[in-house]
Structure 1
């Protein structure tokens, strides 16, 4: 068979001229270099002689005008001759045995432009900061559903930045559904590390119970990281209980903990016996971590009875070594039952409260915290006297008792107990112990009247900056104040000179309290402090007139003590938006630098927010 290597080389040069343009073929040095070899072969085969003639015609210098079209014809003739010879004389069959092509159906599209994909491609093929946000935004926008981003998603599974790799595991790859599983199974190596464990998680999230044998095999013979991952996937499948029990005796701590966690909640008697005995062994911490995720009711009852016995033993025990052992188990019980509401727990905590002096010690700190937290949430009224005794014994427990009393007592009963006829600040001598309780009482009332909230930092998006979120304090609705709080609390708040509580408790039609709050803000006019927005909310609630509020705002804005304002509470911004349009010039003056050293008192975000207020008011004037 005639050798076609030279023809292939000539054909490549012809293809080059197709791209460059036939008008550049005249005098082409590459074809000139190949021509002698073709002419030499032409002495033995006529076809090579014909090809040599075609080359000579093509590279010959162009003549008169109109020859450019002739060069295109010559190029086309030579190309047709070369392709015909190559197809008839050459061999295009690939070497080796024919095999079916492996393919996977894909429902993905290619609808996104490269401009949309390019930032994601750069984020997942480079290193450096800011990549996680790019990937997160691309996933939210659905860009990973473009077929061209599938390789990027697969590569993200092993990204050096853990947050990106975890996002690929938990969200990006599972979003493809079961069609992603073959990619995970390709080259899956159970003896590998974190990457293989992530592949297994993706398979579990998309394939579920269809791949139980894969999980079981990986749990049996994989690396430690793969085994712990796979063992968790056997939870709830009773057929694997014998294997899980066997792995609770593994030398590796992580394997034992994973096995205990997978056994938790099992209804198998063997599983419950295993977990029960482990709770009373050196693995108590490991099994507790697993049982917190859920356990069978029968095991719950059994451990609660042991909890009761251990509490009774504490009451009778005197030896320190035995108390040390009991402390370990008690802390495990506290961890295990921290979020559970159970009738037996209610009785047990009632027993502990009856012996509060014995348990209100440093050794049982975690236990007592759990008891008072539980009783505050779920305790019945009969337990309230014990909580009152406990708060008298140690003031640290007063907030729990107060919140419980607020839940169970009427508004009048609550006030009578904590202030009543004695009063915490009545005229005359007040005991040192009662005065020490006052901060805790105020803190408890704050927690019920004033709420921490997160809302957009109003005005920070003015211009080109993105609006951020701000932590702020908001008063509970007036309806709740009227229903849940005795009106006498307001007089008490004024007596102890707590302007925040007074603002939270004030009601419409109280001019004396309104004057008190205005005076407090004038004495402390710093808008950067937490009480300013609270007092403004209270004044609005009291029914302050628009003109009086305007006067108060300008008093505080003009006060020289109101300095270094870097951001304004959203409520203050809303109050400034209530100013009349006639005040625009005064607001603009606030942004003018007072001197070269200190500059404007409104800086950074506060300046942006003030500009937003000015811009909004100008829009109203227009």
Structure 2
């Protein structure tokens, strides 16, 4: 499945908002991009919802506000579905779209969005209570991008708590967290990788290896990637190489992972290591 049509609609929406919402009714480029959505609308409910909102723009009373809402929805869909282009995976799109299209009022969303995007006291309790009462509110398309950004919250305890919630949300979080991943990043990237590892396990082995093999990867992120190699026995030779040639911290992490496997190659490595120490 090709999402170029959706990207095109997003760009036209941005241009329309910049040039002025009063001109949306006469914007022929936006009209053409909306018409093209018909090709996607039959594939999944979320695309049909986007098409409907786009068609309503020229006839609604507040096109500027509606255009911003539609842009947020498109961004959320592209964020969660990037990399999923196979028709056989359309069920994943349909399954996630229902959570993204909950009809929450702004009155309900505003405290959560504010708590995720500001600093100060009181935010922790607001988010904990929201998670307890309406956990799916964090998957609303207007909240979702801020939810991911919450992994970089200045209050480390809150950032860690958000990462635990994402694990509870399940595998739909894997693709959004992989998008824009920076192996040279800060604690938010470390938490992203931790969540991905817990959810995907060995299915993202190539992703872990790309971080391990990147010479610019931050040390703590690289160590977490090395730890994530524990899910596939095929990584034994790579782990042995790391344990022999890498920096001290990486060596130690690789050895810890090697101890979880049972293999003669590993036995020989530790026997040789013991002889050298003697």
Match for residue 191 of structure 2 among 195, 198, 206: 198
CA 119–250 in structure 1, closer or farther in 2 if over 3 Å, else same:
farther
User: How far does residue 255 in structure 1 lie from its aligned partner after superposition?
Assistant: 0.9
The aligned counterpart of 1:157 is 151
- Gap runs ≥5 in structure 1: 1-11, 16-82, 283-324, 326-622
- Gap runs ≥5 in structure 2: 1-19, 41-73, 82-92
The aligned counterpart of 1:231 is 226
The aligned counterpart of 2:205 is 212
User: How far does residue 93 in structure 1 lie from its aligned partner after superposition?
Assistant: 2.4
Q: How far does the alpha carbon of each residue in 1:313-352 deviate from its partner, in whole angstroms, 9 at most, with x for none?
A: xxxxxxxxxxxx9xxxxxxxxxxxxxxxxxxxxxxxxxxx
The aligned counterpart of 2:257 is 262
CA 130–269 in structure 1, closer or farther in 2 if over 3 Å, else same:
farther
Instruction: Measure the CA separation in 2 of the matches of 1:204 and 1:196.
Output: 12
Q: Is the 8 A contact 1:181 1:207 kept in 2?
A: yes
What SS class does the counterpart of residue 28 from structure 2 fall into? coil
What SS class does the counterpart of residue 229 from structure 2 fall into? coil
Matched, 1:184 2:177: yes
Q: Is the 8 A contact 2:211 2:225 kept in 1?
A: yes
Instruction: Measure the CA separation in 2 of the matches of 1:135 and 1:151.
Output: 15
Flag the structure with larger Rg: 1
Q: Is the 8 A contact 1:194 1:225 kept in 2?
A: no
The aligned counterpart of 1:131 is 123
Instruction: Measure the CA separation in 2 of the matches of 1:140 and 1:280.
Output: 55
The aligned counterpart of 2:111 is 119
User: How far does residue 241 in structure 1 lie from its aligned partner after superposition?
Assistant: 0.7
What SS class does the counterpart of residue 177 from structure 2 fall into? helix
The aligned counterpart of 2:98 is 107
User: How far does residue 217 in structure 1 lie from its aligned partner after superposition?
Assistant: 1.8
What SS class does the counterpart of residue 251 from structure 2 fall into? helix
Match for residue 140 of structure 1 among 123, 132, 138: 132
CA 278–130 in structure 1, closer or farther in 2 if over 3 Å, else same:
farther
Q: Is the 8 A contact 2:202 2:229 kept in 1?
A: no
User: How far does residue 210 in structure 1 lie from its aligned partner after superposition?
Assistant: 1.7
Where is the helix percentage greater, Structure 1 or Structure 2? 2
Matched, 1:273 2:265: no
The aligned counterpart of 2:167 is 174
Instruction: Measure the CA separation in 2 of the matches of 1:179 and 1:242.
Output: 31
Instruction: Measure the CA separation in 1 of the matches of 2:195 and 2:203.
Output: 13
User: How far does residue 281 in structure 1 lie from its aligned partner after superposition?
Assistant: 6.5
Instruction: Measure the CA separation in 2 of the matches of 1:264 and 1:123.
Output: 43
CA 145–245 in structure 1, closer or farther in 2 if over 3 Å, else same:
same
Instruction: Measure the CA separation in 1 of the matches of 2:141 and 2:28.
Output: 31
Instruction: Measure the CA separation in 1 of the matches of 2:243 and 2:172.
Output: 35
Instruction: Measure the CA separation in 2 of the matches of 1:107 and 1:279.
Output: 57
What SS class does the counterpart of residue 148 from structure 1 fall into? coil
Q: Is the 8 A contact 1:156 1:165 kept in 2?
A: yes
Q: How far does the alpha carbon of each residue in 1:437-486 deviate from its partner, in whole angstroms, 9 at most, with x for none?
A: xxxxxxxxxxxxxxxxxxxxxxxxxxxxxxxxxxxxxxxxxxxxxxxxxx
CA 257–93 in structure 1, closer or farther in 2 if over 3 Å, else same:
same
TM-score by length of 2: 0.59
Write the mapping of 1:432-443 to structure 2, written as runs, cut at 5 A: none
CA 145–185 in structure 1, closer or farther in 2 if over 3 Å, else same:
closer
Instruction: Measure the CA separation in 2 of the matches of 1:275 and 1:220.
Output: 24
The aligned counterpart of 1:404 is none
User: How far does residue 146 in structure 1 lie from its aligned partner after superposition?
Assistant: 3.9
User: How far does residue 263 in structure 1 lie from its aligned partner after superposition?
Assistant: 0.7
User: How far does residue 261 in structure 1 lie from its aligned partner after superposition?
Assistant: 1.3
Instruction: Measure the CA separation in 2 of the matches of 1:161 and 1:280.
Output: 47
The aligned counterpart of 2:55 is none
User: How far does residue 232 in structure 1 lie from its aligned partner after superposition?
Assistant: 0.7
Matched, 1:242 2:234: no
What SS class does the counterpart of residue 161 from structure 2 fall into? helix
The aligned counterpart of 1:92 is 28
Instruction: Measure the CA separation in 2 of the matches of 1:132 and 1:244.
Output: 40
CA 248–93 in structure 1, closer or farther in 2 if over 3 Å, else same:
same
Q: Is the 8 A contact 2:243 2:255 kept in 1?
A: yes
CA 148–245 in structure 1, closer or farther in 2 if over 3 Å, else same:
same
Write the mapping of 1:541-560 to structure 2, written as runs, cut at 5 A: none
Instruction: Measure the CA separation in 1 of the matches of 2:251 and 2:121.
Output: 37
TM-score by length of 1: 0.28
User: How far does residue 192 in structure 1 lie from its aligned partner after superposition?
Assistant: 3.0
What SS class does the counterpart of residue 189 from structure 1 fall into? coil
User: How far does residue 228 in structure 1 lie from its aligned partner after superposition?
Assistant: 0.6
| Higher RCO structure, 1 or 2 (CA under 8 Å, sep 6+) | 2
Instruction: Measure the CA separation in 2 of the matches of 1:213 and 1:193.
Output: 21
Q: Is the 8 A contact 2:193 2:225 kept in 1?
A: yes
Instruction: Measure the CA separation in 2 of the matches of 1:159 and 1:136.
Output: 15
User: How far does residue 161 in structure 1 lie from its aligned partner after superposition?
Assistant: 1.3
CA 93–172 in structure 1, closer or farther in 2 if over 3 Å, else same:
same
Q: Is the 8 A contact 2:233 2:261 kept in 1?
A: yes
Q: CA RMSD in A?
A: 3.5
